[in-house]
Amino acid sequence: MPDRDVLHSDINCCYAQIECQARPELRGKPVVVGGDEEARHGIVLAKNLIAKRAGVKTAMALWEARKACPGLVVVPPDYRLYMDVSRRAREIYYDYTDRVEPFGPDEAWLDVTGTRRCLGLSPAEIAREVSERMVAELGISVSVGVSWNKIFAKFGSDYKKPDAVTVITRENYREVVWQAPVRDLLYVGPATERKLHSSGIDTIGQLACASDELLRNRLGKMGFVLRGFARGQDATEVKPYDRDAADVMREIKSYGNGLTAPRDICDPQSAKAYVWMLAESVAQRMREGRARARTVSVGARAADDLCTRSRQCKLPVATDVTLEVARAAWGLLRELEPLDASHPLRGIHVRASDLEPADADLQASLFDPLPRRTRRGQRSCAVATATSASYGARSSSTKARPASTPRPTTPSTPSASSTREELLNAWNREPQEDLRGGRGGHRPRRPPATAGDLLGRRTMLCRGSRARIEARGEHEGRRPRDPLYR
């Protein structure tokens, strides 16, 4: 089988470079794109080359970045601008091939195997022309890697920066790729690097020559996959981009949402509110994706050491019902964390996995009949839909739905009074904790929630993986700076 011609294009310092191109007054200065420090999202999202040379790193706290680079300019992210530039970059890629697979907003693979003869250009010439057009038409530079597989093409785009073209062939990959540190190989993260280092594997070449027994003992099945990548044995295709779905056609393995709270979570009531709102988002996304989950997991990030702990459980029956996901997640969090002032939490996430199609056969039970589960799911979906409609914000992620899957029909929206009653009844039916603590004596239940307690909280989802929940009045009348409120 003849080798393919695969390109990988990577926009250098994407967010920061786009900001400097859009705002000429920032050029020549150390610039980073940073999160909102008031919302405790104050980390470096992207940095330009000047800030990088000064020691600023991605995901570094902004106060650390300012200490490492005096005179640092921090600009807030403008995702609409970044997505527009990303779309215009893909339009350039489409002039050379229809097989374009985005790998984030700043990266993309291009398979030019079937089009290079029509264009009359070699893969290296196509890469140079793409690089020149990006500078001329968009004002941004890219690094392009060229190889016969996706892994080495990605390695080539990272090999030389900025504004470079690297060609990796079967004749030179041992000199170029095998001499590099093993962490430079795609899908080798810090944990895998530590395991390989403890086994005496520090370069990609050593990984390519590792024995079966060593890889099986240290990494399991994934060890053989990584060794194949190190040898250039990657036959994965460049997945075409679905413009209607705004994503490539990938199989969805799980649905999840997480958040970083504006202030530490120190009591069960706040933690339960966050868990229920996140579970509502996850369950609604599953219903939109026509899927049910058999496994629910919850994770908590401690405020003192920032360590994340997680726990999961198997459900007796696959579900997409908000109440069932919320109860499972809440039970896991109660087992995982004390939920008191001495153990504050900074963030929580809820995830549903082990998916199956929503139209798959469901095993009925004598104790939980199918009609009852169906009514519960319809009621939960109606409540979530009415709550989202009343606040003008969707509770679903921007993740793509396969083009072949039809959009689910939306049930009729119930009245506001019936919606409040359903949500409040569901909340107040949950077992309550003793919020006073101590032994013996009368332990009163928490007062029933009111409409203002629940419906006053807003759920704001950011790109399907993070959520922020803010109580009414937390900003003292100021409007939160979030695109969903504009």
Q: Residue 436, exposed/middle/buried by CB under 10 A (0-12, 13-18, 19+)?
A: exposed
Catalytic residue list contains 107: yes
Pairwise CA distance, residues 442 & 266, whole Å: 23
Q: Residue 201, exposed/middle/buried by CB under 10 A (0-12, 13-18, 19+)?
A: buried
List CB contacts of 144: < 8 A, sequence separation 6 or more.
7, 8, 9, 10, 127, 128, 130, 131, 156, 157, 164, 165, 166
Length of the chain: 486
Q: How far is CA 127 from CA 13, 101, 141, 341, 406, in A?
A: 19, 16, 12, 57, 38
Of the candidates 19, 107, 288, 337, the residue annotated as catalytic is 107
Instruction: Give the side-chain half-sphere CA count within 13 A for 340.
Output: 8
Q: Which helix (H) or strand (E) holds 181?
A: none
Cβ burial 154-182 (10 Å sphere, 16+ → b, else e): bbbbbbebeebbbbbeeeebeebbbeeeb
DSSP 198: H
List CB contacts of 345: < 8 A, sequence separation 6 or more.
261, 264, 265, 266, 271, 300, 301, 302, 303, 337, 339
Q: Which long-range contacts (CB under 8 A, 24 or more apart) does 422-427 make?
A: 422/379, 422/382, 422/383, 423/383, 423/387, 423/454, 423/455, 424/448, 424/449, 424/450, 424/451, 424/454, 426/323, 426/380, 426/383, 427/276, 427/454
The 3-state DSSP class for residue 201 equals coil
In the block, residue with structure tokens 């859009």: 22
**The token pair that represents 313 in the structure block:** 């459980």
Say if residues 26 and 148 touch (Cβ distance below 8 Å): no
Which alpha helices (H) appear in 293-415, and where do they start and end? 322-336, 370-391
Pairwise CA distance, residues 394 & 119, whole Å: 44
List CB contacts of 458: < 8 A, sequence separation 6 or more.
391, 393, 469, 470
In the block, residue with structure tokens 């937390």: 474
**The token pair that represents 39 in the structure block:** 């919302």
DSSP 143-176: EEEEESSHHHHHHHHHHS-SS-EEE--TTTHHHH
| Residues with a known catalytic role | 107
